[in-house]
Structure 1
Amino acid sequence: MTRVLLCDDQELVRAGFRLILDLEDDLEVVGEAEDGRECLRMVATLAPEVVLMDIRMPRMDGVEATRQLVRAGSPTRVLVLTTFDLDEYVYDAMRAGASGFLLKDVPREQLVFAVRMVARGDAVVAPKVTRRLVEHYVGAPPPTTGVPDVLGVLSERELEVFGLLASGRSNAEIAEGLVLGEATVKTHVGNILAKLGLRDRIQAVVLAYESGYLQAGR
């Protein structure tokens, strides 16, 4: 059973998501928080696998709540809720460690799918959407020659995988492009995230752009 905490300052929004999630046999809404501070307290006591996190809330917003959860080493995953797909706060939440985002008018099936994906450790934002957010909000870093220092811990093969991963390729597409088995690619991806201290593929995309390894428009 996947335990879910709803964090949104609008009671009607929380009620709507609860109605959807409680219909699923494998999902359980264990609590509702009105702001980031209450969310942090409830995560500590209820230990949900996933938080559906609104961004703009009083007292403590979703970005800061996400940042504090990640800094504390919480295993709880954050799925950001927003009204606009190009919202600078969404990008800030991704940098803070959120595992993806959804629009608040998302179809029921997509919401349920996203919660399940995040609960098992995957990111749910389509890479092209993540790249669009990054390109829109990240200032162009200085031109780089060679490999940025932050990526120096990766082997030559891992750099190849990282470049394709950050460009939005799935494991299957990476495997096909590099003529590798999909299981091998999955191992490489896990090693890359561990070496770079990243939680998921979303943060890999952000790092690729912020380090200058990938450039907007490429």
Structure 2
Amino acid sequence: MASIKIMIVDDHAMIRVGLATMLGNCKEISIVGNCSSSREAEQMLLSKNADVVLMDIKMPDINGIEAAKEIIRKNAFIRIIFLTVFEDAEFVRLAMQSGANGYILKHVSRDKLIETIKRVHQGETIIDPAVLRQIINGYAANNELNPSAKQAELTPRQNEILEYIIKGLTN
């Protein structure tokens, strides 16, 4: 099996070097490039054949969400995982609308990061369980504030499955 080719895009050199070091000894992953800006990433992707881009949202030139739209427009097969500190549900919504395939927080463990890269490469969409929990709690709170909104009744099994999804598990 060929290794998953990764490009790292973050404006902080320490993050790029740390990620490259963290992922460098994983046999299933190879780092094909790293850069410090969205524009640099777009240029580098013209010559580097990456499968997955690990990208921060807050960048010095174009934010990662706008860059993701452009990158995907040029290469519909590339997968983008946002690796960020932003836990805000609105950022997640915008990231997913941009075409991203993953949204994980920077405090993720090495093993979870590698698992996320592999799963996204296989076509899954991954959202950090902590952020997903916040989104669901926000949705629940909104329904409590708006009791006239029609609420879907979930079966006990559906609730159980939802809990698994929140924990980041799949079938």
Scaled to the shorter chain, the TM-score interval is 0.7 to 0.9
Inter-CA distance 136–45: structure 2 relative to 1 (3 Å threshold)? farther
**Hey, what does 1:29 align to over in structure 2?**
31
Structure 1 equivalent of residue 167 of structure 2: none
TM superposition outliers: structure 1 runs of 4+ over 3 Å: 126-137, 167-170
Question: What secondary structure does 2:127 align onto?
Answer: coil
State the one-letter code of the partner of 1:115. I
Matching residue's letter, 2:94: D
Matching residue of 1:155 = none
Task: Note if 1:71 corresponds to 2:41.
Answer: no
Q: Which residue in the other structure is 2:124 paired with?
A: 122
Partner Cα separation in structure 2 for residue 128 and residue 34 of structure 1: 27
The answer to whether structure 1 residue 109 and structure 2 residue 111 are counterparts is yes
Give me the whole-angstrom Cα distance separating, in 2, the residues matched to 1:169 and 1:12.
35
| SS of residue matched to 2:83 | strand
Q: Write the distance in 2 (CA, Å) between the matches of 1:19 and 1:73.
A: 27
SS for the counterpart of 2:54 is strand
- Percent identical pairs in the alignment equals 30
Q: String of CA shifts for 1:112-133, please: whole Å, max 9, x gaps.
A: 1111111111112257844743
Distance 1:84 1:129 in 2: 9
8 A Cα contact 2:9 2:54, kept in partner: yes
Q: 1:26 to 1:92 in 2, by over 3 A?
A: same
Distance 1:117 1:133, change over 3 A: same
Tell me the amino acid that sits aligned with residue 34 of structure 2. Answer: E
Question: Are positions 1:47 and 2:71 aligned together?
Answer: no
1:10 aligns with 12
Give the CA RMSD over aligned residues: 2.9
Q: 1:109 to 1:144 in 2, by over 3 A?
A: same
Match of 1:91 in 2: 93
Give the drift of 1:19.
Answer: 0.6
Provide the TM-score with structure 1 as the length reference: 0.59
Q: Number of aligned residue pairs: give it.
A: 149
Q: Per-residue CA shift, 1:60-84, capped at 9, x if unaligned? A: 1100111112223431100001113
2:125 alignment partner, SS class: coil
Which runs of no fewer than 5 residues in structure 2 stay unpaired? 151-157, 165-170
Q: Return the structure number with greater strand share.
A: 2
Separation (CA, whole Å) in 2 of partners of 1:70 and 1:133:
25
Contact 1:63–1:93 (CA under 8 A) maintained in structure 2: yes
Q: How many Å apart are 1:20 and its aligned residue? A: 1.1
| 1:159-178 paired onto structure 2 within 5 Å | 168=162
Distance, in Å, in 2 between the alignment partners of 1:131 and 1:120 is: 24
Contact 2:103–2:128 under 8 Å retained in 1: no
| Matched position secondary structure for 1:31 | strand
Change (3 A) 1:129 1:83: closer
If the length of structure 2 is used for normalisation, what is the TM-score? 0.74
Can you list the C-alpha shifts for 1:123-179, whole angstroms capped at 9, x where unaligned? Answer: 122578447438859x99xx999xxxxxxxxxxxxxxxxxx8xx9598xxxxxxxxx
